[in-house]
Amino acid sequence: MQQSDAIVVGAGLAGLVAAAELADRGRSVIIVDQEGENSLGGQAFWSLGGLFMIDTPEQRRLKIVDSPELALADWMGSAQFDRQEDYWPRRWAEAYLEFAAGDMRSWLHGMGMRWFPVVGWAERGGSLATGHGNSVPRFHITWGVGPGVIEPFIARVTAHVHSGRIQLKFRHRVSQLDMTDGVVVGVSGEQLAVDTVERGQQSSRDVIADFSLQASSVIVSSGGIGGNLDLVRQNWPVDRLGVAPASMISGVPAYVDGRMHGIAKSAGAGLINTDRMWHYTEGVKNWDPIWPAHGIRVLPGPSSLWFDAFGNRLSAPCLPGFDTNFTLKRILASGKDYSWFVLTQKIIEKEFALSGSEQNPDLRSKKWLEVIKARLGRGATDAVEAFKREGEDFIVTDTLDELVAGMNRCAGNQLLNVESMRQQIEARDGQVDNPFSKDAQVIAIQAARHYLGDRLVRVAKPHKILDPANGPLIAVRLHILTRKSLGGIHTNLDGQVLDADGETIGGLYAAGEVAGFGGGGYHGYNALEGTFLGGCLFSGLRVGRAAG
Protein backbone atom coordinates (compact mmCIF):
# COMPACT_ATOMS: atom_id res chain seq x y z
CA MET A 1 0.00 0.00 0.00
CA GLN A 2 1.41 3.36 -1.04
CA GLN A 3 2.23 5.77 1.77
CA SER A 4 2.96 9.48 2.05
CA ASP A 5 2.97 12.20 4.67
CA ALA A 6 -0.28 13.68 3.38
CA ILE A 7 -3.10 12.90 0.99
CA VAL A 8 -5.09 15.76 -0.54
CA VAL A 9 -8.56 14.80 -1.78
CA GLY A 10 -9.46 17.25 -4.53
CA ALA A 11 -7.20 19.11 -6.93
CA GLY A 12 -9.02 22.43 -6.83
CA LEU A 13 -7.56 25.72 -5.63
CA ALA A 14 -7.62 24.92 -1.89
CA GLY A 15 -6.08 21.50 -2.50
CA LEU A 16 -3.33 22.92 -4.71
CA VAL A 17 -2.45 25.59 -2.15
CA ALA A 18 -2.35 23.05 0.70
CA ALA A 19 -0.25 20.60 -1.32
CA ALA A 20 2.23 23.28 -2.38
CA GLU A 21 2.67 24.46 1.20
CA LEU A 22 3.09 20.91 2.51
CA ALA A 23 5.70 20.11 -0.13
CA ASP A 24 7.53 23.36 0.57
CA ARG A 25 7.85 22.08 4.15
CA GLY A 26 9.46 18.88 2.88
CA ARG A 27 6.39 16.66 3.19
CA SER A 28 5.51 14.00 0.63
CA VAL A 29 2.03 14.51 -0.82
CA ILE A 30 -0.39 12.52 -2.98
CA ILE A 31 -3.20 14.50 -4.63
CA VAL A 32 -6.20 12.43 -5.74
CA ASP A 33 -9.09 13.69 -7.85
CA GLN A 34 -11.99 11.91 -9.53
CA GLU A 35 -11.61 14.02 -12.67
CA GLY A 36 -8.87 13.95 -15.30
CA GLU A 37 -5.71 16.02 -15.51
CA ASN A 38 -7.45 18.65 -17.60
CA SER A 39 -9.59 19.58 -14.59
CA LEU A 40 -6.59 20.58 -12.46
CA GLY A 41 -7.60 23.71 -10.56
CA GLY A 42 -11.25 22.71 -10.22
CA GLN A 43 -14.00 25.32 -10.13
CA ALA A 44 -11.56 28.18 -9.72
CA PHE A 45 -10.59 27.80 -13.38
CA TRP A 46 -14.10 28.86 -14.42
CA SER A 47 -14.26 31.87 -12.12
CA LEU A 48 -13.88 35.57 -12.84
CA GLY A 49 -10.91 35.57 -10.49
CA GLY A 50 -12.32 38.09 -8.01
CA LEU A 51 -10.62 38.45 -4.64
CA PHE A 52 -11.83 40.29 -1.54
CA MET A 53 -8.92 42.40 -0.29
CA ILE A 54 -8.81 45.39 2.04
CA ASP A 55 -7.07 48.77 1.74
CA THR A 56 -5.03 47.87 -1.34
CA PRO A 57 -3.03 50.13 -3.67
CA GLU A 58 -5.73 49.48 -6.29
CA GLN A 59 -8.37 50.85 -3.93
CA ARG A 60 -6.31 53.82 -2.83
CA ARG A 61 -5.59 54.85 -6.43
CA LEU A 62 -9.36 55.13 -6.92
CA LYS A 63 -9.75 57.16 -3.70
CA ILE A 64 -11.53 54.29 -1.93
CA VAL A 65 -11.09 54.63 1.82
CA ASP A 66 -11.17 51.14 3.30
CA SER A 67 -9.98 49.73 6.61
CA PRO A 68 -9.96 46.47 8.58
CA GLU A 69 -12.51 47.97 10.95
CA LEU A 70 -14.95 48.85 8.15
CA ALA A 71 -14.48 45.44 6.53
CA LEU A 72 -15.13 43.69 9.85
CA ALA A 73 -18.34 45.66 10.36
CA ASP A 74 -19.49 44.81 6.83
CA TRP A 75 -18.65 41.12 7.24
CA MET A 76 -20.38 40.71 10.59
CA GLY A 77 -23.41 42.67 9.40
CA SER A 78 -23.64 40.27 6.48
CA ALA A 79 -22.76 37.03 8.28
CA GLN A 80 -25.28 37.55 11.10
CA PHE A 81 -23.74 34.68 13.08
CA ASP A 82 -26.43 33.41 15.45
CA ARG A 83 -25.66 29.76 16.27
CA GLN A 84 -23.58 28.09 18.95
CA GLU A 85 -21.62 26.26 16.24
CA ASP A 86 -20.63 29.60 14.68
CA TYR A 87 -17.68 29.96 17.09
CA TRP A 88 -15.08 28.59 14.66
CA PRO A 89 -16.66 30.13 11.54
CA ARG A 90 -16.47 33.53 13.27
CA ARG A 91 -12.84 32.93 14.21
CA TRP A 92 -12.08 32.02 10.60
CA ALA A 93 -13.81 35.18 9.37
CA GLU A 94 -11.77 37.36 11.70
CA ALA A 95 -8.56 35.61 10.67
CA TYR A 96 -9.36 35.96 6.97
CA LEU A 97 -10.03 39.68 7.34
CA GLU A 98 -6.67 40.11 9.05
CA PHE A 99 -5.09 38.22 6.14
CA ALA A 100 -7.00 40.22 3.49
CA ALA A 101 -5.85 43.47 5.06
CA GLY A 102 -2.31 42.23 5.63
CA ASP A 103 -0.17 39.63 3.89
CA MET A 104 -2.62 38.39 1.25
CA ARG A 105 -1.81 40.81 -1.55
CA SER A 106 1.96 40.75 -1.05
CA TRP A 107 1.94 36.92 -0.88
CA LEU A 108 0.03 36.66 -4.16
CA HIS A 109 1.91 39.53 -5.80
CA GLY A 110 5.16 37.76 -4.99
CA MET A 111 3.94 34.79 -7.03
CA GLY A 112 3.27 37.02 -10.02
CA MET A 113 -0.44 37.77 -9.64
CA ARG A 114 -1.75 41.17 -10.70
CA TRP A 115 -5.20 42.79 -10.70
CA PHE A 116 -7.40 44.85 -13.01
CA PRO A 117 -7.04 48.48 -11.90
CA VAL A 118 -10.80 49.10 -11.47
CA VAL A 119 -11.97 47.52 -8.21
CA GLY A 120 -15.49 46.13 -8.46
CA TRP A 121 -18.32 46.96 -6.08
CA ALA A 122 -20.24 43.73 -5.48
CA GLU A 123 -23.10 43.09 -3.04
CA ARG A 124 -23.75 46.76 -2.26
CA GLY A 125 -26.36 45.99 0.36
CA GLY A 126 -28.92 48.73 -0.02
CA SER A 127 -30.42 48.70 3.46
CA LEU A 128 -28.85 49.72 6.78
CA ALA A 129 -25.21 50.39 7.58
CA THR A 130 -25.39 47.63 10.18
CA GLY A 131 -26.72 45.10 7.67
CA HIS A 132 -25.51 43.16 4.65
CA GLY A 133 -23.22 44.55 1.96
CA ASN A 134 -19.90 46.10 1.05
CA SER A 135 -19.64 49.74 2.11
CA VAL A 136 -16.90 50.23 -0.50
CA PRO A 137 -15.61 48.41 -3.61
CA ARG A 138 -13.39 45.43 -2.67
CA PHE A 139 -13.71 42.98 -5.60
CA HIS A 140 -10.26 42.71 -7.19
CA ILE A 141 -10.38 40.93 -10.56
CA THR A 142 -7.22 38.94 -11.14
CA TRP A 143 -5.37 39.59 -14.37
CA GLY A 144 -6.00 36.35 -16.24
CA VAL A 145 -9.26 35.72 -14.31
CA GLY A 146 -9.69 32.20 -12.84
CA PRO A 147 -6.80 30.61 -14.74
CA GLY A 148 -4.62 33.49 -13.52
CA VAL A 149 -5.47 32.59 -9.92
CA ILE A 150 -4.59 28.92 -10.19
CA GLU A 151 -1.56 29.40 -12.45
CA PRO A 152 1.08 30.07 -9.75
CA PHE A 153 -0.12 27.17 -7.62
CA ILE A 154 -0.14 24.75 -10.54
CA ALA A 155 3.43 25.89 -11.25
CA ARG A 156 4.45 25.25 -7.64
CA VAL A 157 2.79 21.83 -7.55
CA THR A 158 4.28 20.89 -10.93
CA ALA A 159 7.76 21.77 -9.70
CA HIS A 160 7.25 19.45 -6.73
CA VAL A 161 5.94 16.71 -9.03
CA HIS A 162 9.18 16.94 -11.01
CA SER A 163 11.20 16.70 -7.80
CA GLY A 164 9.21 13.66 -6.68
CA ARG A 165 7.68 15.27 -3.60
CA ILE A 166 4.11 15.41 -4.98
CA GLN A 167 2.27 12.68 -6.89
CA LEU A 168 -0.88 13.41 -8.88
CA LYS A 169 -3.45 10.61 -9.17
CA PHE A 170 -6.29 11.62 -11.47
CA ARG A 171 -9.44 9.57 -11.98
CA HIS A 172 -9.13 8.31 -8.40
CA ARG A 173 -12.45 8.64 -6.57
CA VAL A 174 -12.35 8.42 -2.78
CA SER A 175 -15.23 6.50 -1.24
CA GLN A 176 -13.94 5.97 2.31
CA LEU A 177 -11.70 7.59 4.88
CA ASP A 178 -9.79 4.73 6.46
CA MET A 179 -9.48 4.81 10.25
CA THR A 180 -7.54 3.03 12.99
CA ASP A 181 -8.45 3.61 16.64
CA GLY A 182 -10.43 6.75 15.73
CA VAL A 183 -7.61 8.28 13.68
CA VAL A 184 -7.77 8.76 9.90
CA VAL A 185 -4.83 6.90 8.34
CA GLY A 186 -5.65 6.94 4.64
CA VAL A 187 -8.27 6.74 1.92
CA SER A 188 -9.83 4.01 -0.22
CA GLY A 189 -11.83 4.21 -3.39
CA GLU A 190 -12.09 3.39 -7.04
CA GLN A 191 -9.89 4.11 -10.01
CA LEU A 192 -12.08 5.36 -12.85
CA ALA A 193 -11.53 4.70 -16.53
CA VAL A 194 -9.68 7.35 -18.50
CA ASP A 195 -12.13 9.74 -20.14
CA THR A 196 -11.18 12.23 -22.85
CA VAL A 197 -14.01 14.71 -22.28
CA GLU A 198 -13.10 18.39 -22.31
CA ARG A 199 -12.61 20.34 -19.08
CA GLY A 200 -15.94 20.90 -17.36
CA GLN A 201 -17.85 18.26 -19.31
CA GLN A 202 -19.45 15.40 -17.41
CA SER A 203 -17.06 12.45 -17.27
CA SER A 204 -17.83 8.75 -16.94
CA ARG A 205 -17.92 6.87 -13.66
CA ASP A 206 -16.78 3.53 -15.06
CA VAL A 207 -14.66 1.71 -12.45
CA ILE A 208 -11.56 -0.23 -13.54
CA ALA A 209 -9.87 -0.96 -10.18
CA ASP A 210 -9.85 -0.29 -6.44
CA PHE A 211 -7.14 1.59 -4.57
CA SER A 212 -5.98 2.34 -1.03
CA LEU A 213 -3.47 4.93 0.13
CA GLN A 214 -2.03 5.65 3.57
CA ALA A 215 -0.82 8.90 5.11
CA SER A 216 -0.42 10.55 8.49
CA SER A 217 -2.71 13.40 7.36
CA VAL A 218 -5.68 13.46 4.98
CA ILE A 219 -6.93 16.82 3.71
CA VAL A 220 -10.41 16.97 2.20
CA SER A 221 -10.67 19.79 -0.34
CA SER A 222 -13.35 18.39 -2.62
CA GLY A 223 -15.58 21.42 -3.15
CA GLY A 224 -19.28 21.99 -2.57
CA ILE A 225 -22.66 20.64 -3.65
CA GLY A 226 -23.76 23.10 -6.36
CA GLY A 227 -23.60 20.60 -9.23
CA ASN A 228 -25.89 18.17 -7.39
CA LEU A 229 -29.34 19.74 -7.66
CA ASP A 230 -30.94 16.98 -5.57
CA LEU A 231 -28.53 17.71 -2.71
CA VAL A 232 -29.16 21.45 -3.07
CA ARG A 233 -32.90 20.85 -2.67
CA GLN A 234 -32.33 18.45 0.23
CA ASN A 235 -30.47 21.18 2.16
CA TRP A 236 -32.65 24.09 1.03
CA PRO A 237 -33.66 26.43 3.92
CA VAL A 238 -37.41 26.46 3.34
CA ASP A 239 -38.10 28.31 6.59
CA ARG A 240 -35.76 31.15 5.61
CA LEU A 241 -36.05 31.44 1.81
CA GLY A 242 -39.26 29.62 0.94
CA VAL A 243 -39.81 26.48 -1.09
CA ALA A 244 -36.87 25.48 -3.31
CA PRO A 245 -37.26 26.43 -6.98
CA ALA A 246 -38.88 23.81 -9.17
CA SER A 247 -36.36 24.67 -11.84
CA MET A 248 -32.73 25.66 -11.36
CA ILE A 249 -29.68 25.86 -13.59
CA SER A 250 -26.16 24.98 -12.53
CA GLY A 251 -23.31 27.42 -12.17
CA VAL A 252 -20.75 24.66 -11.57
CA PRO A 253 -19.78 21.37 -13.31
CA ALA A 254 -21.43 18.06 -12.42
CA TYR A 255 -18.38 16.89 -10.47
CA VAL A 256 -19.23 19.43 -7.76
CA ASP A 257 -21.39 16.69 -6.31
CA GLY A 258 -20.95 16.88 -2.53
CA ARG A 259 -19.90 13.20 -2.22
CA MET A 260 -17.13 13.90 0.28
CA HIS A 261 -19.51 15.64 2.68
CA GLY A 262 -21.28 12.33 3.32
CA ILE A 263 -18.06 10.32 3.30
CA ALA A 264 -16.51 12.64 5.89
CA LYS A 265 -19.66 12.45 7.99
CA SER A 266 -19.47 8.65 7.91
CA ALA A 267 -15.97 8.96 9.39
CA GLY A 268 -17.36 11.06 12.24
CA ALA A 269 -16.92 14.58 10.88
CA GLY A 270 -19.40 17.19 12.03
CA LEU A 271 -21.33 18.98 9.27
CA ILE A 272 -22.69 22.37 10.23
CA ASN A 273 -24.64 25.15 8.55
CA THR A 274 -25.53 22.99 5.55
CA ASP A 275 -28.70 25.07 5.09
CA ARG A 276 -26.58 28.13 4.30
CA MET A 277 -25.99 28.40 0.57
CA TRP A 278 -25.29 31.07 -2.01
CA HIS A 279 -27.29 30.87 -5.22
CA TYR A 280 -27.66 33.67 -7.73
CA THR A 281 -30.87 35.20 -9.05
CA GLU A 282 -29.43 36.44 -12.36
CA GLY A 283 -28.77 33.14 -14.13
CA VAL A 284 -29.27 32.62 -17.87
CA LYS A 285 -29.13 29.35 -19.76
CA ASN A 286 -25.85 28.95 -21.59
CA TRP A 287 -26.59 28.80 -25.31
CA ASP A 288 -23.33 26.85 -25.75
CA PRO A 289 -23.31 24.59 -22.65
CA ILE A 290 -20.30 22.72 -21.30
CA TRP A 291 -21.84 20.84 -18.34
CA PRO A 292 -25.41 19.68 -17.61
CA ALA A 293 -27.96 22.47 -17.03
CA HIS A 294 -25.11 24.94 -17.58
CA GLY A 295 -26.01 28.45 -16.49
CA ILE A 296 -24.09 31.71 -16.57
CA ARG A 297 -24.54 34.54 -14.12
CA VAL A 298 -25.19 38.01 -15.44
CA LEU A 299 -23.03 40.43 -13.46
CA PRO A 300 -25.27 43.47 -13.70
CA GLY A 301 -24.70 47.12 -13.07
CA PRO A 302 -27.47 48.85 -11.12
CA SER A 303 -29.65 50.22 -13.96
CA SER A 304 -31.72 47.29 -15.31
CA LEU A 305 -35.32 47.30 -14.08
CA TRP A 306 -36.15 44.10 -12.23
CA PHE A 307 -39.62 42.55 -12.43
CA ASP A 308 -41.04 39.36 -10.97
CA ALA A 309 -42.79 36.80 -13.16
CA PHE A 310 -46.05 38.74 -12.87
CA GLY A 311 -44.58 42.04 -13.98
CA ASN A 312 -44.30 43.69 -10.57
CA ARG A 313 -41.17 45.79 -10.22
CA LEU A 314 -38.89 44.73 -7.37
CA SER A 315 -38.17 47.37 -4.76
CA ALA A 316 -35.00 48.06 -2.77
CA PRO A 317 -32.89 46.28 -1.68
CA CYS A 318 -33.83 43.98 -4.58
CA LEU A 319 -31.69 45.94 -7.02
CA PRO A 320 -29.17 44.45 -9.45
CA GLY A 321 -25.95 43.67 -7.57
CA PHE A 322 -27.18 44.70 -4.11
CA ASP A 323 -28.57 41.87 -1.93
CA THR A 324 -28.59 38.37 -3.38
CA ASN A 325 -30.39 36.46 -0.62
CA PHE A 326 -33.05 39.11 -0.02
CA THR A 327 -33.79 39.15 -3.74
CA LEU A 328 -33.89 35.34 -3.90
CA LYS A 329 -36.46 35.27 -1.11
CA ARG A 330 -38.56 37.95 -2.84
CA ILE A 331 -38.56 36.08 -6.16
CA LEU A 332 -39.53 32.77 -4.57
CA ALA A 333 -42.31 34.51 -2.63
CA SER A 334 -43.96 35.24 -5.99
CA GLY A 335 -44.58 31.52 -6.41
CA LYS A 336 -42.40 31.40 -9.53
CA ASP A 337 -38.74 30.51 -10.00
CA TYR A 338 -37.77 33.18 -12.50
CA SER A 339 -37.78 36.95 -12.90
CA TRP A 340 -37.03 39.55 -15.59
CA PHE A 341 -34.60 42.34 -16.37
CA VAL A 342 -35.83 45.09 -18.68
CA LEU A 343 -33.13 47.37 -20.04
CA THR A 344 -31.81 49.23 -23.07
CA GLN A 345 -28.93 48.76 -25.47
CA LYS A 346 -27.09 51.58 -23.67
CA ILE A 347 -27.37 49.69 -20.39
CA ILE A 348 -26.28 46.33 -21.78
CA GLU A 349 -23.24 47.93 -23.42
CA LYS A 350 -22.01 49.57 -20.23
CA GLU A 351 -23.30 47.36 -17.45
CA PHE A 352 -23.62 43.73 -18.54
CA ALA A 353 -20.78 41.37 -17.78
CA LEU A 354 -20.91 37.59 -17.60
CA SER A 355 -19.35 35.39 -14.94
CA GLY A 356 -16.79 32.83 -15.94
CA SER A 357 -13.31 32.82 -17.39
CA GLU A 358 -14.58 31.52 -20.74
CA GLN A 359 -16.91 34.53 -21.05
CA ASN A 360 -14.10 37.04 -20.55
CA PRO A 361 -11.34 36.17 -23.04
CA ASP A 362 -10.01 39.73 -22.99
CA LEU A 363 -9.29 39.66 -19.25
CA ARG A 364 -8.03 36.12 -19.52
CA SER A 365 -5.57 37.12 -22.27
CA LYS A 366 -3.74 39.57 -19.94
CA LYS A 367 -3.46 41.92 -22.94
CA TRP A 368 -4.50 45.53 -22.51
CA LEU A 369 -5.31 45.96 -26.20
CA GLU A 370 -7.81 43.09 -26.00
CA VAL A 371 -9.44 44.60 -22.91
CA ILE A 372 -9.72 48.06 -24.50
CA LYS A 373 -11.23 46.64 -27.68
CA ALA A 374 -13.76 44.52 -25.76
CA ARG A 375 -14.78 47.01 -23.06
CA LEU A 376 -14.54 50.39 -24.77
CA GLY A 377 -15.50 49.56 -28.35
CA ARG A 378 -18.96 49.76 -29.90
CA GLY A 379 -21.59 47.44 -28.50
CA ALA A 380 -21.37 45.10 -25.54
CA THR A 381 -18.61 42.51 -25.29
CA ASP A 382 -18.65 39.76 -27.90
CA ALA A 383 -19.77 37.25 -25.26
CA VAL A 384 -22.73 39.41 -24.18
CA GLU A 385 -23.73 40.11 -27.78
CA ALA A 386 -23.61 36.36 -28.48
CA PHE A 387 -26.04 35.72 -25.62
CA LYS A 388 -28.25 38.54 -26.83
CA ARG A 389 -28.29 36.99 -30.29
CA GLU A 390 -28.37 33.25 -29.43
CA GLY A 391 -29.63 32.94 -25.86
CA GLU A 392 -33.17 31.67 -25.36
CA ASP A 393 -33.63 34.00 -22.37
CA PHE A 394 -33.00 37.23 -24.34
CA ILE A 395 -35.71 39.22 -26.13
CA VAL A 396 -34.77 42.26 -28.24
CA THR A 397 -37.41 44.55 -29.79
CA ASP A 398 -38.06 48.18 -30.68
CA THR A 399 -41.31 48.67 -28.75
CA LEU A 400 -42.61 47.75 -25.32
CA ASP A 401 -45.65 46.00 -26.83
CA GLU A 402 -43.39 43.71 -28.82
CA LEU A 403 -41.12 43.19 -25.85
CA VAL A 404 -43.86 42.09 -23.45
CA ALA A 405 -45.39 39.82 -26.09
CA GLY A 406 -41.98 38.22 -26.55
CA MET A 407 -41.53 37.82 -22.78
CA ASN A 408 -44.86 36.02 -22.51
CA ARG A 409 -43.91 33.72 -25.39
CA CYS A 410 -40.57 32.99 -23.74
CA ALA A 411 -42.22 32.11 -20.42
CA GLY A 412 -45.00 30.11 -22.06
CA ASN A 413 -47.76 32.06 -20.32
CA GLN A 414 -49.63 35.36 -20.37
CA LEU A 415 -48.69 36.67 -16.92
CA LEU A 416 -47.32 40.02 -18.09
CA ASN A 417 -49.61 42.95 -18.87
CA VAL A 418 -48.08 45.53 -21.18
CA GLU A 419 -50.02 48.50 -19.78
CA SER A 420 -49.08 47.69 -16.21
CA MET A 421 -45.43 47.45 -17.17
CA ARG A 422 -45.63 50.63 -19.23
CA GLN A 423 -47.04 52.52 -16.25
CA GLN A 424 -44.21 51.33 -13.98
CA ILE A 425 -41.46 52.07 -16.49
CA GLU A 426 -42.87 55.51 -17.36
CA ALA A 427 -43.03 56.35 -13.66
CA ARG A 428 -39.37 55.41 -13.30
CA ASP A 429 -38.43 57.35 -16.46
CA GLY A 430 -40.03 60.46 -14.99
CA GLN A 431 -37.48 60.33 -12.18
CA VAL A 432 -34.44 60.97 -14.40
CA ASP A 433 -35.42 64.49 -15.47
CA ASN A 434 -33.86 65.99 -12.35
CA PRO A 435 -30.79 65.39 -10.21
CA PHE A 436 -33.29 64.51 -7.46
CA SER A 437 -35.45 61.41 -7.13
CA LYS A 438 -37.64 59.41 -4.79
CA ASP A 439 -36.96 56.21 -6.72
CA ALA A 440 -34.45 54.15 -4.73
CA GLN A 441 -32.92 52.62 -7.85
CA VAL A 442 -32.40 55.97 -9.55
CA ILE A 443 -30.83 57.30 -6.34
CA ALA A 444 -28.56 54.25 -6.25
CA ILE A 445 -27.47 54.82 -9.86
CA GLN A 446 -26.65 58.45 -9.14
CA ALA A 447 -24.67 57.43 -6.05
CA ALA A 448 -22.78 54.72 -7.92
CA ARG A 449 -21.60 57.22 -10.52
CA HIS A 450 -19.81 59.17 -7.80
CA TYR A 451 -17.30 56.29 -7.82
CA LEU A 452 -14.82 56.77 -10.65
CA GLY A 453 -14.59 53.06 -11.42
CA ASP A 454 -18.36 52.75 -11.86
CA ARG A 455 -18.60 55.91 -13.93
CA LEU A 456 -15.81 54.78 -16.27
CA VAL A 457 -16.70 51.16 -16.99
CA ARG A 458 -19.70 49.94 -15.01
CA VAL A 459 -22.70 52.28 -14.68
CA ALA A 460 -24.53 53.90 -17.58
CA LYS A 461 -25.60 57.52 -17.42
CA PRO A 462 -29.23 57.62 -16.22
CA HIS A 463 -31.62 57.73 -19.16
CA LYS A 464 -35.22 56.93 -20.05
CA ILE A 465 -35.85 53.27 -20.75
CA LEU A 466 -38.69 53.96 -23.21
CA ASP A 467 -36.90 56.63 -25.24
CA PRO A 468 -36.25 55.01 -28.66
CA ALA A 469 -32.90 56.83 -28.84
CA ASN A 470 -31.63 54.54 -26.08
CA GLY A 471 -32.91 51.32 -27.68
CA PRO A 472 -33.54 48.74 -28.71
CA LEU A 473 -35.36 47.42 -25.66
CA ILE A 474 -34.07 44.20 -24.14
CA ALA A 475 -35.63 41.74 -21.71
CA VAL A 476 -33.74 38.92 -20.03
CA ARG A 477 -35.41 36.01 -18.26
CA LEU A 478 -33.43 35.23 -15.11
CA HIS A 479 -33.24 31.78 -13.50
CA ILE A 480 -32.02 30.66 -10.09
CA LEU A 481 -28.40 29.60 -10.56
CA THR A 482 -26.78 27.22 -8.07
CA ARG A 483 -23.28 28.13 -6.97
CA LYS A 484 -21.79 27.88 -3.47
CA SER A 485 -22.14 25.97 -0.20
CA LEU A 486 -21.67 28.35 2.73
CA GLY A 487 -21.64 25.56 5.32
CA GLY A 488 -19.79 22.26 5.49
CA ILE A 489 -17.25 20.29 7.49
CA HIS A 490 -16.66 21.77 10.95
CA THR A 491 -12.98 22.64 11.58
CA ASN A 492 -10.85 24.58 14.00
CA LEU A 493 -8.51 27.38 12.92
CA ASP A 494 -5.84 24.90 11.77
CA GLY A 495 -8.36 23.13 9.56
CA GLN A 496 -8.50 20.06 11.84
CA VAL A 497 -11.86 18.38 11.40
CA LEU A 498 -14.14 18.32 14.45
CA ASP A 499 -16.65 15.61 15.27
CA ALA A 500 -20.25 16.12 16.36
CA ASP A 501 -19.04 16.87 19.91
CA GLY A 502 -16.49 19.45 18.74
CA GLU A 503 -13.47 17.20 19.34
CA THR A 504 -10.72 16.88 16.73
CA ILE A 505 -10.50 13.75 14.60
CA GLY A 506 -6.87 12.73 14.41
CA GLY A 507 -5.24 12.94 11.00
CA LEU A 508 -8.19 14.63 9.26
CA TYR A 509 -8.27 18.18 7.86
CA ALA A 510 -10.55 20.10 5.50
CA ALA A 511 -10.09 23.22 3.37
CA GLY A 512 -12.01 25.21 0.79
CA GLU A 513 -15.70 25.01 0.01
CA VAL A 514 -16.18 21.58 1.59
CA ALA A 515 -15.37 23.30 4.91
CA GLY A 516 -17.58 26.30 4.19
CA PHE A 517 -14.37 28.09 3.16
CA GLY A 518 -13.22 27.89 6.77
CA GLY A 519 -14.55 26.48 10.03
CA GLY A 520 -17.74 25.14 8.51
CA GLY A 521 -19.06 28.43 7.19
CA TYR A 522 -17.05 31.63 7.62
CA HIS A 523 -19.56 33.64 5.55
CA GLY A 524 -22.47 33.07 7.90
CA TYR A 525 -25.68 33.67 5.94
CA ASN A 526 -24.35 36.02 3.25
CA ALA A 527 -21.27 36.44 1.08
CA LEU A 528 -19.57 39.69 0.14
CA GLU A 529 -18.04 38.25 -3.08
CA GLY A 530 -14.37 37.63 -3.76
CA THR A 531 -14.48 35.63 -0.54
CA PHE A 532 -14.87 32.22 -2.23
CA LEU A 533 -11.51 32.18 -3.98
CA GLY A 534 -10.14 34.12 -1.03
CA GLY A 535 -11.39 31.46 1.36
CA CYS A 536 -9.88 28.67 -0.73
CA LEU A 537 -6.52 30.44 -0.75
CA PHE A 538 -6.58 31.18 2.97
CA SER A 539 -7.86 27.82 4.20
CA GLY A 540 -5.50 25.95 1.88
CA LEU A 541 -2.62 28.04 3.18
CA ARG A 542 -3.46 27.45 6.85
CA VAL A 543 -4.02 23.73 6.45
CA GLY A 544 -0.90 23.33 4.33
CA ARG A 545 1.12 24.90 7.12
CA ALA A 546 -0.55 22.89 9.91
CA ALA A 547 -1.02 19.36 8.54
CA GLY A 548 1.54 16.64 7.94
pLDDT by residue (tens digit) across 255-272?
Answer: 999 999 999 999 999 999
Question: Does residue 169 surpass a pLDDT of 90?
Answer: yes
Distance CA 156, CA 11 (A): 13
Question: Sorting pLDDT into bands at 50, 70 and 90, what band is 19?
Answer: very high
For the domain made up of 2-164+258-276+486-546, give the CATH fold: FAD/NAD(P)-binding domain (3.50.50)
Percent of the chain with pLDDT over 70: 100
Question: Does residue 376 surpass a pLDDT of 80?
Answer: no
> For residues 29 and 23, is the Cβ–Cβ distance under 8 A?
yes
Question: Sorting pLDDT into bands at 50, 70 and 90, what band is 35?
Answer: very high
Per-position b or e across 116-125, b if 16+ CB within 10 A of its CB: bebbbbbbbb
Residues 503-514: what's their mean pLDDT? 98
- Mean pLDDT computed over every residue of the chain: 97
- Look up residue 536 and give its amino acid: C
Pick the CATH number of 280-481 from 3.30.9.10, 1.10.10.10, 3.40.640.10, 3.90.700.10: 3.90.700.10
Nearest in space to 222 (alpha carbons), one of 174, 177, 179, 178: 174
Question: Sorting pLDDT into bands at 50, 70 and 90, what band is 84?
Answer: very high
Q: Looking at residue 377, what is its pLDDT? A: 73
State the Cα torsion 76-82-88-93 to the nearest 10°.
-10
Residues 356-381: what's their mean pLDDT? 89
Question: Does residue 66 surpass a pLDDT of 90?
Answer: yes
User: How confident is the model over 302-344, as pLDDT tens digits?
Assistant: 999 999 999 999 999 999 999 999 999 999 999 999 999 999 9
Question: Does residue 368 surpass a pLDDT of 90?
Answer: no
Per-position b or e across 21-37, b if 16+ CB within 10 A of its CB: bbbeeebbbbbbbbbbe
Nearest in space to 56 (alpha carbons), one of 43, 71, 72: 71
Question: Sorting pLDDT into bands at 50, 70 and 90, what band is 126?
Answer: confident
| Residue spans per domain, the chain | 2-164+258-276+486-546, 280-481
